[in-house]
Amino acid sequence: MRALIVPTGCSGIDELRIEQRPEPKPGPLQVLLRVRAVSLNYRDQAVVTGNYFGGKASRDMILLSDGAGEVLAVGDGVTRWRPGDRVMPIFSQVPPAGSPGAPALPLGSPLDGMGAEQVVCYEDGLVAIPEHLSFEEAACLPCAAVTAWHALMCAGRPVIPGDVVLVLGSGGVSVFALQLARAAGAQVIATSSSDDKLTRLTALGAAAGINYRTTPDWDAEVMRLTGNHGADCIVEVGGAGTLARSFRSLAHGGKIGLIGVLTGPAGDTNPHAIMLKGGTLHGIFVGNREMFERLNRAISVNRIRPVIDRVYEFDQAHAAFRQHVSGNFIGKVVIRL
């Protein structure tokens, strides 16, 4: 079978390889999947360039945390799944070579990921795909959508109708947050580097968009747009470089889901604004099975479809990564396997 490999010491997209690997076999309580599609997250770029936590790849590793496929075969003792079931992996998994009770780790670093035609997972590491979604759409959910759901619905007070939700940028996490917040009856304000992308975000349901390049004081604009109320929930994917403005954009008693590092690791953020507003800051690390299953119910009931910018074939994986690194996309970039 073919697998997308990030080689030991990898520092760039040109070094990625598509290799033949032996077909894996499911052990007791394990499930063999035929992966049909995978999607790219920002962290996959970091893994490829050697900037993910832990630095460069220390072994030849199968890339990508997010995918979707169908069950080909099950090992002894499996009760949750049957051949033909359509499934997605939870972001953090028990290593296939470990006992079922071992600690879970993220797919696609440090564990081998979903970028292969066949993978093996423990049965507990999978959830069912909502019926109305294709494999390509389902492949977008495990990291980005679960993270957005966690920030909106599980961290602190869940978002309710009438809340103002601020999403930063137009990537995977932020576009899911927009869609889910709209389904919850919230008003969404989106920021982006591009007016064209803001037009697309408005078409997806954002009430207002702010270009953070041409309006660097976007926090003041959030306050103006909301009549000085601010955002009740902020999906913070920027990190150190945007956090001070997020604090200033927050409503009294509001919450910030601290998710991303798009502006790098260092900064000198003044936290006074969040203190004076009685706000809360929640560190978010993707999410667990229960969150993923509740998200799937919300996606099914609201007939939400992930926003896919482009689907590539497996032998175009390098091109998919180049588009993702360029930032010239909204939502998700997908590879079909």
Residue 209 binding ligand NAP, by CB under 6 A = no
Can you tell me which of 4, 26, 33, 42 binds ligand NAP, judged by CB under 6 A?
A: 42
Residue from 105, 207, 240, 261 touching ligand NAP (CB under 6 A): that is 261
69, 106, 156, 169: which one contacts ligand NAP (CB under 6 A)? 169
DSSP 68: E
Q: What b/e sequence results for 82-100 when a residue is b if at least 16 CB atoms lie within 10 Å of its CB, and e otherwise? A: eeebbbbbbbbbbebeeee
Q: Contact with ligand NAP (CB under 6 A): which of 193, 214, 215, 302?
A: 193
Assess 199 for contact with ligand NAP (CB under 6 A).
no
Return the percent helix, strand and coil in the chain, to nearest 5.
30, 30, 40
Among 60, 71, 66, smallest CA distance to 93 is for 66
Contact of 236 with 256, CB cutoff 8 Å: yes
Residue 9: what residue type? G
Closer to ligand NAP by CB, 18 or 240: give it.
Answer: 240
Does the protein bind ligand NAP through residue 109 (CB under 6 A)?
no
Q: Mutual orientation of helices 172-183 and 289-301 as an angle, nearest 10°? A: 60
**Residue 93 lies near ligand NAP (rule: CB under 6 A):** no
Q: Scan residues 224-243 and list those touching ligand NAP (CB under 6 A).
A: 237-238, 241-242
Residue 246 interacting with ligand NAP (CB under 6 A): no
* One of 49, 51, 202, 263 touching ligand NAP (CB under 6 A): 263
Residue 124's nearest CA partner among 83, 173, 74, 84 is 74
How many chain residues touch ligand NAP (CB under 6 A)? 31
DSSP letter (8 states) at residue 145: I
Give dist(CA 46, CA 88) in Å, integer: 22
Binding interface with ligand NAP (CB under 6 A): 41-43, 143-144, 147, 168-173, 191-194, 197, 212, 237-238, 241-242, 259-263, 284-286, 327
